[in-house]
Amino acid sequence: MPHLEESFPLASYHDAPEKDTTDPSPSSTSTKLTTITEYDEIGIRRLSTDSASTAFSDLETEDLLAKGAEVSQATKKRWSRRCKSWSTSRPVKIISPVLLALIPSFFRKSEKRKLYPTSYLDGLRGVAAFFVTQDHLFHDWFPILFHGYDTVPDSNHFMQLPILRCWYSGSGMVCVFFVISGYVLANKSLQLMRSRPCDFSAIFDTLASSAFRRGVRLFLPITASTFLSLIFELTHVYPREYKGKLPIHASTWPAQFYDWYLNLLASTNPFQMINPGNPIPQETPYDVHLWTIPYEFRGSMVVFLTLLAIAKTKNSIKTFFLGMFVLYTLWIGQWDLGLFLGGAFFAELQFLRRDLFPSHSTSLLSPPSTTSTPPRPRPFLLKYSKLFLHLLTIPLFFAGLYLISIPDQQPESTPGWRRIHAMTPPQYRTEIAPWYTAKFWGTVGSLILLVSLSFSPPLPFSSSPSGLLQLPFTTPLAQDLGDISYSLYMMHGPMLYSIGHYMRKHADSQPPEMFWWDFVKCVIVWGGATIWSADLFTRFIDSPSVGFGKWCAGRCWVENE
């Protein structure tokens, strides 16, 4: 480090002029030695002295640094006050929560999710909802894929092979939705029915609460989503090319609102029948994909009524009647009701399994006993029951996926499907809608899939209580999709007919070699917008709808005396 004299060169004592003793005049006698003044690097005022050889002492240097630190602290405090004043201003107070709310919820989660007995069903529902979005996306970009493999020219893509088709098999995924709903809706009531002593008052309260809130849970969100489509139509966000899929553009805004109102009433009618004579249900042009919601409501009511009817029966009678109801509804062509009742039936089988094999029931269904009991000899079948279940559920899992992936078009001439198609019951063959055959086999596949998942045991060396086949659906990604599954189903349509359409139209104007690149861009942009909007819809519409239903029940119900 250079000496202070090098950094701050001062006047030398020997360079100063001497006093003139011969001149006693005031001007000459008052002459004093003056130092050459300088400023330091941080702008502190220089010092002057009457002594030409005076240098900075250590004490003076510390004083200068202390003054500089005081200036720096004052500057920091001044800027801190300014920033605090800016952050507490009214515009920032309004904008900041809005910007934070726009951040997707899955980017802000830090705590590990707690899994419940039916968490794998939430994940399965989320994956199924995602596959439905891919179905409608692929319809616009790759319509050839919906033909059976090698049934028409250029229809020999590997994505048309069985099981791989599940990626865009929307028809089969709707069946998965219905069977999951039946399972979840019946689970709590069936558990109460098997408790001893049986509390029939609790069973009635559970069924009444579920039935009361179900309509609000299903129809309030679709009112909001179709209203968004109405806004898109009024503001010309929707293109005019899809006349058959989008609402008719009315001449005035009141006429457009009235058209939306009429379509909303028609699309929420749960009493439409689905059968070979009327296989095409009522669709709202404000989102044709929402045709499943009234059938979701009807199936839910049928489950609640069935559970009420068998609530006081013996367990064996209860299991028998549920199984017979499933077979009956499938035989008369009501595949949707068969799926809901099938889900309830398999929930009953889970409790039956727990009663028969309590020591081998998965901990997701029943917590392990805290009382220690001495080990008892186990029969051979009971000893190897987990191995037996693995050998049974894994083939059933892939068999279910195979049936779910039936092609919508030309299944009768598709390799691997000819003989299966020949076994289709006559109730599910119609010339009005050839895809009705796919609904039957999708129903069978969904029921088999749920059986394989619900009875899948965990691996012996695994620390997870989830079954082997349940593990993919308990991952964070699947669970996040499950959280937004209903909103994802409702929001992918408006995003597809706005962002998706314009990107598809742009691809048509590009050279053929750019087609795949345009498709990738569409997947990124449209997919991101769909998931983001579904997350917002879940937090601001769907979840509050659930709370609103509970609030209505609390306000309307008579308290138990």
DSSP assignment of 412-475: GGSTTTHHHHHT--GGG--SS-TTHHHHHHHHHHHHHHHHHHHTPPPPTT-S--S-TTTGGGSS
CA distances from 276 to 280, 292, 333, 334, 418 (A): 9, 17, 7, 9, 21
Angle (deg, nearest 10), helices 476-483 and 119-141: 80
Higher-confidence residue of 105 and 68: namely: 105
Above 70 in pLDDT, residue 23? Answer: no
Above 90 in pLDDT, residue 449? Answer: yes
Cβ atoms of 429 and 276 within 8 Å: the answer is yes
CA angle 340, 402, 335 (to 5 degrees): 25
Higher-confidence residue of 14 and 259: namely: 259
Cβ atoms of 457 and 467 within 8 Å: the answer is yes
Query: Does residue 413 share a domain with residue 280?
Result: yes
Bond before 197 cis per omega within 30 degrees: yes
Range ranked top by mean pLDDT from 60-64, 237-241, 418-422, 538-542: 538-542
Cβ atoms of 502 and 526 within 8 Å: the answer is no
- Look at residue 9 and give its three-state secondary structure: coil
Query: Does residue 396 share a domain with residue 299?
Result: yes
Which of 373, 375, 325, 372 is CA-nearest to residue 346? 325
Query: Does residue 270 share a domain with residue 133?
Result: yes
DSSP secondary structure of 69-81: HHHHHHHHHHHHH
Above 60 in pLDDT, residue 356? Answer: yes
Query: Does residue 510 share a domain with residue 401?
Result: yes
Alpha helix ranges (H) inside 357-429: 380-383, 385-404, 418-422
Above 60 in pLDDT, residue 436? Answer: yes
Query: What pLDDT was estimated at residue 72?
Result: 63
Point out the least confidently predicted range of 185-199, 263-277, 506-520.
263-277
Query: Does residue 52 share a domain with residue 129?
Result: no
Point out the least confidently predicted range of 98-112, 201-215, 359-373.
359-373
The boundaries of the domain holding residue 436 are 119-367+378-555
Query: Does residue 402 share a domain with residue 304?
Result: yes
Number of domains in the chain: 2
Query: Does residue 439 share a domain with residue 313?
Result: yes
Query: What pLDDT was estimated at residue 74?
Result: 64
Above 50 in pLDDT, residue 5? Answer: no
The backbone torsions φ and ψ at residue 162, rounded to the nearest 5 degrees and listed phi first, read -55, 150
Residues 429-450, mean pLDDT to the nearest whole number: 87
Write down which residue in 56, 76, 95 finishes a domain: 56
Residues 491-500, mean pLDDT to the nearest whole number: 94
Above 70 in pLDDT, residue 398? Answer: yes
Q: Is 560 part of a structural domain of the chain?
A: no
Query: What pLDDT was estimated at residue 66?
Result: 59
To the nearest whole number, what is the mean pLDDT of the chain? 81
Q: Is 363 part of a structural domain of the chain?
A: yes
Query: What pLDDT was estimated at residue 323?
Result: 96
Q: Is 111 part of a structural domain of the chain?
A: no
Query: Does residue 513 share a domain with residue 426?
Result: yes
Above 90 in pLDDT, residue 242? Answer: no
Residues 402-413, mean pLDDT to the nearest whole number: 91
Which of 263, 325, 251, 257 is CA-nearest to residue 288? 263
The backbone torsions φ and ψ at residue 168, rounded to the nearest 5 degrees and listed phi first, read -130, 30
Query: What pLDDT was estimated at residue 262?
Result: 92
Q: Which residues contact 266 (CB under 8 A, 6 or more apart)?
A: 282, 284
Write down which residue in 56, 75, 100 finishes a domain: 56
Above 50 in pLDDT, residue 39? Answer: no
Which of 194, 116, 179, 464 is CA-nearest to residue 356? 194
Percent of the chain with pLDDT over 70: 74
Higher-confidence residue of 31 and 228: namely: 228
Q: Which helix (H) or strand (E) holds 267?
A: helix 253-267
Point out the least confidently predicted range of 366-380, 427-441, 444-458.
366-380
Cβ atoms of 226 and 287 within 8 Å: the answer is yes
Query: What pLDDT was estimated at residue 297?
Result: 95
- Model confidence at 308, pLDDT cuts 50, 70, 90, reads very high
Q: How far apart are CA 463 and CA 454, in angstroms?
A: 18
Cβ atoms of 146 and 409 within 8 Å: the answer is yes
Residues 199-210, mean pLDDT to the nearest whole number: 94
Cβ atoms of 484 and 534 within 8 Å: the answer is yes
- Model confidence at 88, pLDDT cuts 50, 70, 90, reads low
Range ranked top by mean pLDDT from 245-259, 307-321, 345-359: 307-321
- Model confidence at 283, pLDDT cuts 50, 70, 90, reads confident
Residues 300-329, mean pLDDT to the nearest whole number: 96
CA angle 31, 36, 39 (to 5 degrees): 140
pLDDT digits (tens, 9 = 90+) for 141-192: 999 999 999 888 888 899 999 999 999 999 999 999 999 999 999 999 999 9
Q: Is 431 part of a structural domain of the chain?
A: yes
Token couple for 319 = 């299991």
The backbone torsions φ and ψ at residue 128, rounded to the nearest 5 degrees and listed phi first, read -65, -40
Residues 102-127, mean pLDDT to the nearest whole number: 84
Q: Is 74 part of a structural domain of the chain?
A: no
Cβ atoms of 144 and 158 within 8 Å: the answer is no
Q: Is 311 part of a structural domain of the chain?
A: yes
Q: Given its phi and psi angles, is residue 559 left (phi above 0), alpha (psi -120 to 50 degrees) or beta?
A: beta
Q: How far apart are CA 435 and CA 414, in angstroms?
A: 14
Q: How far apart are CA 389 and CA 185, in angstroms?
A: 26
Residues 232-246, mean pLDDT to the nearest whole number: 79
Cβ atoms of 51 and 21 within 8 Å: the answer is no
Range ranked top by mean pLDDT from 124-133, 279-288, 327-336, 426-435: 124-133
Above 80 in pLDDT, residue 363? Answer: no
Residue type, 2: P
Q: Is 97 part of a structural domain of the chain?
A: no
Query: Does residue 156 share a domain with residue 26?
Result: no
Query: Does residue 195 share a domain with residue 318?
Result: yes
pLDDT digits (tens, 9 = 90+) for 54-68: 444 555 555 655 555
Cβ atoms of 157 and 98 within 8 Å: the answer is no
Point out the least confidently predicted range of 31-45, 176-190, 373-387, 426-440.
31-45
Query: What pLDDT was estimated at residue 79?
Result: 57
Query: Does residue 528 share a domain with residue 436?
Result: yes
Residue type, 278: N
Query: Does residue 141 share a domain with residue 32?
Result: no
Cβ atoms of 239 and 299 within 8 Å: the answer is no
Q: Is 82 part of a structural domain of the chain?
A: no
Neighbour-count burial of 170, counting CB atoms closer than 10 A to its CB (0-12 exposed, 13-18 middle, 19+ buried): buried
Q: What is the CA radius of gyration of the chain?
A: 37
CA distances from 384 to 86, 96, 457 (A): 69, 59, 12
Q: Count CB atoms within 10 A of the CB of residue 38.
A: 12
Query: What pLDDT was estimated at residue 462?
Result: 76
Query: What pLDDT was estimated at residue 281?
Result: 64
